[in-house]
Structure 1
Amino acid sequence: SGEEAVPGQANTGGKWFPSDSPVLKNFYALCQKVSPAAQTPSAVFCSMIGLPYVAVAATMEAVNEDNLAVPPVDGKTVVYTDTEGTASFGWLDPVNDFGNLGLGIKVYNEPFTAQQTYDFAGCLMAQPDRAPGDNCTAPPDSGKRFKLKTTETNGPIDIVVDVSADDSVSLYRVIGKFSNLTDASNSVGGDLNAIRFELGFGVGSEFMRSSVGDGLGFGFDGADKLSIGPVGKYPGGLFGGSKVEGLPFFSTEVAPFTESVSTADDGDILETNGTIATQYSSLFGDWRTLSQTPTGWFIDHDGNPANDSILLAYNAGTVAAPDWQTNEKQFNAAVTVDHDDDASTPELSAELWDPNSLNFDPTVANNVLPLVDTLGEGDPGDTVTDAITLSPSAASALYDGNFNVLIDGQAVTIDDFETWENKPVTVVDTANGDALYATWYPGEGEDGLYQLESDSSWVTLSEMATLIAADANLARVAGYVQGPIEDLANVNINPTISVGAAANWPTCSGDGVNTTCSFTFRVTGLNGAVEEPTIPDTPVEPAPEPEEPGASSSDGDGPVFGCTAGRPGAPIDPVLPGLVLMALGGLWARKRLSNA
């Protein structure tokens, strides 16, 4: 209006009213409930009278299923590029580590503090569905990571999350595993070399990246980002050790992914620098697709293929000319570790964990975390001496029938390497002199099959489990299994998402009281040497033939003459009559004040 502001008063269209005016209070109460992204007449009115919108934040509620295959298709929660299922560049594993079927990914609103510093409102993870409060902070080896698979180099995968607008600014930890299942026949043999994370709105060709100041980002306001550990890294059971997977096989150093300087100042995108860590690349080059990972020999120490097997050796050669190599774990007797978090008790020598030492102690060796804490995972600053070193060796030289490996706190003697091929995982009948009942073939079917000795028929893992449960005489027998080292295709991902000011998002809708919104967490496996795929547009159905003019109907489907407040037949905004009356009241009050 050109008038100067008066302290303690607010502008309502040309006249300054006291801020405690009943008329102004009514206007303000109304505008508190309006989403600025929802261009309703109410929102426009609030803008016209100069009242601010309430800055609301958001709470992540659930993963939106509109662009997901629900129920799963062929055992996969396919992630589509739109809500019509037009195309897909990846999928989620819908089965959790307990065998339960779901989406494969879930939001848990369970507050926790990480690294004694960062307060999280919850997490985006797999679906272990433990007791409330126990999911985000579940113990090691509890199946926390969702399993996202990319099938197309440079193909974006869009995970949409529904949120509710409230008065909080919340941090959520992402706990996932991203796997390379791209086509090995492409120009780079299926190799990837980077990951891109983006935040935004919409999916597929309609995706729009988030922008500065909209309350959505990877960590904190501005460009400050947060991840618990490296934003991405190869599994610790192979590189660096892990509280989950124990002592490493290939290197005592972590093989991390590092953010590129090109995205360091942008809080809405996080892209790694395109360089694979030397701990991995010196052995295998770029990030291999699953079908191109080297083959390994594993021991299935409990005779149950449903559980993880222990890697013993890998083929450093070719299928035609195999070169079986391994890394001997050598325990440093001079290194002492705190085994019980008690400063009053003496530290113990790492030699007590050595399964080939006369001083081996199974009462302490069942917990390898004190040793892991001296390696890359637990000692990123390399401030203490490593408790173990890895010494390369030919598998046939190390495994001579007398060498022990540490498995679940026990010293397990490994058979002579030359005999592994003849000692598969089996099931025997103890009531019949341990006669062979079934043999496990990991290459049969999609997930491996047992072949019954009696009639050569095939049964699945679950069917065999049922047979064993029904017959106490059937016993599992440990054995050796050959197969791909799948974790060389997997990367653990750990970004953090901050949600706030959600009412400004273009995906919001509201009823005048509650506001619901959504955002997209986009993940892409990259290789710049490969052309980006085209994201197809959603097919548009042909417009229906126009109907012949007819009489107006009472439900609003007929012709409408004159002005309308929306599409024909749409309900009138119920707030409008009240706004009109309030505006008239304001004009009356202004007139009274001007005549006073």
Structure 2
Amino acid sequence: MRLCVRLWVLRQQPFAATVDSVNTDNLAVPPVEGKTLIYTDTAGTASFGWLDPVNDSGEIGLGISVYNEAFNGTIDEQVYQFAGCIMAQPDLEVNCQAPGDSGKRFKLKTTETNGPIDLVFNVSADDASKLYRVIGKFSNLTDTTNLVEGGLKAFRIETGFGVGNDFTPSSAEDGLSFGMAADGASKLSIGPIGKYPGGLFGGSRVEGLPFFSTSIAAFTEGTTASDEDTMETDGVIPVEYSELFGDWNALANVPTGWFIDHDGNPANDSILLAWNDGTDWQTNEKTFEAVDIEAILLAGGTETAPATIYDPNGTSFDAEGENTTIYDLSNVRPVVDTLDEGDPDNIAPAALSLSKLLASELYDGTFRVLIDGEAVTIADFETWADNPPTVEDTTDGSTLATWLPDAGDEGLYELADGSTMTLEDMNEMINASEGELVRVAGYVQGPVEDLANVNLNTTISVTDTASWPTCTSDGTETSCTFTMRVTGLNELVDDPAIPATPATPASRSSSSGGGCTVGGPGSPFDPVLPGMVLLALAGLWARKRRADA
């Protein structure tokens, strides 16, 4: 459907609505160069951001979806009924309540400071009010030319209608709003409205133990707390982040980190070991405190035990790093539950503390870190540069290939003869080798990408659509759209001009001579394109995601 601006006279007044799907009229369909571009109009005139279209299974879609899967969610000890969620596009059997680390967050990227990004949703009018959870990640990919005024300082989310210059903010009592608490003084959110990933700050049952701080780095809403149609943070970057990195860094400016690729597979998450503060390589040593936690038993159930059972340099692990206890040490939830994420009121003593020191002082070749329930010995810091991930030929013990993360667009393997091979081709070769070729763990440098990312949590309420300016009806069924506008903010930077839609929009499609179109807003999906797009995006899916456990 198109973004309509005419309200038809209805035979029967609708009093509620169901969010059906994502409207694609201002999206690049299929993706352009691996991006679902979000345009400022349906003609594709300009774009201030994009969605990552590849889900965690490597499947290509829009990168965002609506799932009407009813569930109950608890906020401030109050149970709320949700009709569904707006999230990424994993297309699992259960999506809204899928387990942690299942790729639920849509990945929205802003490329322009103060540039609004308009996500539009299709709605059917019906007779039941509905509440939807919004689960996303907002990444700062803004241009470094704004650095004279700093990075981003806040974000704003608004509800409304239309896109670009035609966007109209939602008004009070028009049937579209954020979910609001019963007293109307705050918005409903499962978790902070925005926070840096828990694997960096505060810990997370999903993202693991924290690296930089045991306190979460959460944004706070400013003067819009009681505004049902606008949510804007107060312009203050969480102190846990700002003390180390200043403003919300753009991806191009986050510090470089050293990571261990512990399974030797660049397609999987690597583990952050150290970061460069501009002067030297720093790290944080984790100390598991002698405080009681409810440890998880391998046989099921729990029992009280000291948090020191998780210490990879303690007595829980043998010389090979294997767990010798009766506890499931791959599950760090009992530790996280004592930190800021799981214990915001500081009722229990913290089971973990962090101590900053030079990486060269901690990593002497004997120190071990906890990875997936095993104690992994980290090589001497001075040798990391000489030990990248490799592929070994077990028939003669030779090195078949060495991983070069900076080669090509997404990294390449260099073979012994100097030629190169993509990650996908190497994985195919390994899988076909019947065990003769094996991956060898190693160390890689790269940006600490999650320092550019903020997890978003909010809710959207749809009730009466009667006054919406985007509804049409055939006299029997009523269809509408609404917009969720997301903007990364810095008040010291001028707002970008949203270009006017040309009277005769230039075509954004390209032709290969065979008639296939590429990347037009709301374009029908050409049957020739899936294979082409898959080839273009294969490297994007396999890209090394810099983890922060």
Aligned position for 2:345 = 381
Aligned position for 1:550 = none
**Distance in 2 between residues matched to 1:340 and 1:264, nearest whole Å:** 43
Is 1:313 the counterpart of 2:274? The answer is yes
**Distance in 2 between residues matched to 1:424 and 1:519, nearest whole Å:** 49
SS at match of 1:161: strand
Work out which of the residue numbers 219, 228, 235 in structure 1 matches 2:190.
228
Aligned position for 2:262 = 301
**Distance in 1 between residues matched to 2:489 and 2:420, nearest whole Å:** 40
Query: Do the aligned residues in 1 keep the contact of 2:15 with 2:128 (CA within 8 Å)?
Result: yes
**Distance in 1 between residues matched to 2:33 and 2:300, nearest whole Å:** 54
Higher gyration radius (CA)? 1
Query: Do the aligned residues in 2 keep the contact of 1:313 with 1:324 (CA within 8 Å)?
Result: yes
Is 1:285 the counterpart of 2:246? The answer is yes
**Distance in 2 between residues matched to 1:237 and 1:201, nearest whole Å:** 36
Cα–Cα, structure 1 residues 38 and 527, in superposed 2: closer, same or farther, change >3 Å? Answer: closer
TM-superposed deviation, 1:459: 2.0
Unaligned runs of 5+ residues in structure 1 are 1-36, 47-52, 543-596
Is 1:102 the counterpart of 2:61? The answer is yes
Matches within 5 A, 1:466-477: 466-472=428-434, 473-477=436-440
Query: Do the aligned residues in 2 keep the contact of 1:38 with 1:510 (CA within 8 Å)?
Result: no
**Distance in 2 between residues matched to 1:87 and 1:177, nearest whole Å:** 22
Query: Do the aligned residues in 1 keep the contact of 2:237 with 2:248 (CA within 8 Å)?
Result: yes
Aligned position for 1:399 = 363
**Distance in 1 between residues matched to 2:149 and 2:91, nearest whole Å:** 38
Aligned position for 1:67 = 26
TM-superposed deviation, 1:445: 2.0
Work out which of the residue numbers 401, 411, 423 in structure 2 matches 1:438.
401
Comparing 63-72 and 116-125, the one that deviates more: 116-125
Matches within 5 A, 1:504-543: 504-541=467-504
Aligned position for 2:40 = 81
Q: Which amino acid aligns with 2:335?
A: L
Matches within 5 A, 1:184-583: 184-188=144-148, 191-220=151-180, 224-261=186-223, 263-317=224-278, 322-339=279-296, 346-360=303-317, 361=323, 363-431=327-395, 433-454=396-417, 456-472=418-434, 473-541=436-504
Taking CA–CA contacts closer than 8 Å with sequence separation of 6 or more, which of the two structures ends up with the larger relative contact order?
2
Q: Which amino acid aligns with 1:487?
A: D
**Distance in 2 between residues matched to 1:117 and 1:168, nearest whole Å:** 18
Cα–Cα, structure 1 residues 82 and 419, in superposed 2: closer, same or farther, change >3 Å? Answer: same
Query: Do the aligned residues in 1 keep the contact of 2:45 with 2:501 (CA within 8 Å)?
Result: yes
Aligned position for 2:508 = none
TM-superposed deviation, 1:124: 0.6
Query: Do the aligned residues in 1 keep the contact of 2:187 with 2:226 (CA within 8 Å)?
Result: no
Q: Deviations over 1:243-292 (max 9, x none)?
A: 1110000000000011002x122100000000001100000001000010
**Distance in 1 between residues matched to 2:439 and 2:149, nearest whole Å:** 39
Is 1:175 the counterpart of 2:135? The answer is yes
Q: Deviations over 1:170-207 (max 9, x none)?
A: 11111110000001122436610100000000000100
Query: Do the aligned residues in 2 keep the contact of 1:183 with 1:190 (CA within 8 Å)?
Result: no
TM-superposed deviation, 1:211: 0.3
Aligned position for 2:543 = none
Is 1:135 the counterpart of 2:95? The answer is yes
TM-superposed deviation, 1:447: 1.6
Number of corresponding residues = 488
Q: Deviations over 1:318-358 (max 9, x none)?
A: xxxx4001000000013333536999963111011110111
Comparing 188-197 and 166-175, the one that deviates more: 188-197
**Distance in 2 between residues matched to 1:265 and 1:229, nearest whole Å:** 18
**Distance in 2 between residues matched to 1:492 and 1:200, nearest whole Å:** 22
Q: Which amino acid aligns with 1:364?
A: D
Normalised TM-score (structure 1):
0.79
Query: Do the aligned residues in 2 keep the contact of 1:353 with 1:364 (CA within 8 Å)?
Result: no
Q: Which amino acid aligns with 1:120?
A: F
TM-superposed deviation, 1:463: 1.6
Q: Which amino acid aligns with 1:370?
A: P
Aligned position for 1:576 = none
TM-superposed deviation, 1:223: 5.9
**Distance in 2 between residues matched to 1:38 and 1:73, nearest whole Å:** 31
SS at match of 1:213: coil
Cα–Cα, structure 1 residues 479 and 345, in superposed 2: closer, same or farther, change >3 Å? Answer: closer
Q: Deviations over 1:68-102 (max 9, x none)?
A: 00000000000000011100000000001111111
Cα–Cα, structure 1 residues 344 and 67, in superposed 2: closer, same or farther, change >3 Å? Answer: closer
SS at match of 1:518: strand
Query: Do the aligned residues in 2 keep the contact of 1:400 with 1:415 (CA within 8 Å)?
Result: yes
SS at match of 1:327: strand
**Distance in 2 between residues matched to 1:326 and 1:421, nearest whole Å:** 17
Q: Deviations over 1:521-578 (max 9, x none)?
A: 1000000110000011111139xxxxxxxxxxxxxxxxxxxxxxxxxxxxxxxxxxxx
Q: Which amino acid aligns with 2:21?
A: A
CA RMSD of aligned residues (A): 1.9
SS at match of 2:431: helix
TM-superposed deviation, 1:208: 0.3
TM-superposed deviation, 1:56: 1.7
Unaligned runs of 5+ residues in structure 2 are 318-322, 506-549
Aligned position for 1:562 = none
TM-superposed deviation, 1:443: 1.1
Cα–Cα, structure 1 residues 464 and 341, in superposed 2: closer, same or farther, change >3 Å? Answer: closer
**Distance in 1 between residues matched to 2:451 and 2:145, nearest whole Å:** 18
**Distance in 1 between residues matched to 2:226 and 2:122, nearest whole Å:** 27
**Distance in 2 between residues matched to 1:305 and 1:350, nearest whole Å:** 32
**Distance in 1 between residues matched to 2:464 and 2:148, nearest whole Å:** 42
TM-superposed deviation, 1:446: 2.1
